[in-house]
Amino acid sequence: MNSSLVIISGALLSACALVLGGAAQAQTAGGTGSQSSSDWWPSAYTGYIGLNGGRSDFKQGHGDAYSLYVGGMWNPNLGLELGGTDFGRGTNSEAYGFYLSGVGRIPLNDTFSLFGKLGLMYSRGETGGVRDSGFGETYGLGMDVTINRQWAGVLQYDRSTVHFVSGRDRMNLTSVGLKYRY
Angle at CA of residue 45, ends 178 and 31, nearest 5°: 125
Helix (H, G, I), strand (E, B) or coil at 180: strand
Mean pLDDT throughout 124-129? 85
The whole-model pTM stands at: 0.75
Instruction: Report whether pLDDT(65) > 50.
Output: yes
Note the pLDDT tens digit of each residue in 71-108.
Answer: 999 888 999 999 999 998 877 788 899 999 999 999 99
Band (9; pLDDT cuts 50, 70, 90): low
The domain 44-181 is placed in CATH, from the list 2.60.260.20, 3.40.50.12280, 3.20.20.150, 2.40.160.20, at: 2.40.160.20
Q: Measured between alpha carbons, how far apart are the two ends of the chain, in Å?
A: 31
Neighbour tally for 141: CB within 10 Å:
13
pLDDT of residue 165: 77
Residue 103: strand, helix, or coil = strand
79: phi then psi, degrees, rounded to nearest 5: -165, -170
- Predicted pLDDT at 43: 55
What pLDDT, in 10s, does the model give residues 152-171? 999 999 999 888 877 788 88
For residue 83, give the amino acid letter: G
pLDDT at 30 over 60: no
For 8, 82, 104, 151, the CA distances from 97, given in Å and listed in that order, are 10, 11, 21, 26
* Residue boundaries of the structural domains of the chain: 44-181
Task: Give the per-residue pLDDT at 19.
Answer: 47
Contact yes or no for 159/175 (Cβ under 8 A): no
The residue ranking higher by pLDDT, 12 or 85, is 85
Q: Which range has highest mean pLDDT (24-33, 121-130, 144-153)?
A: 144-153
User: DSSP secondary-structure letter at 92?
Assistant: T
d(CA 158, CA 177): 13
| Range 17-35 average pLDDT | 45
Q: Which of 30, 25, 21, 29 is CA-nearest to residue 49?
A: 21
Task: List the Cα angle 161/162/167 in 5-degree steps.
Answer: 105
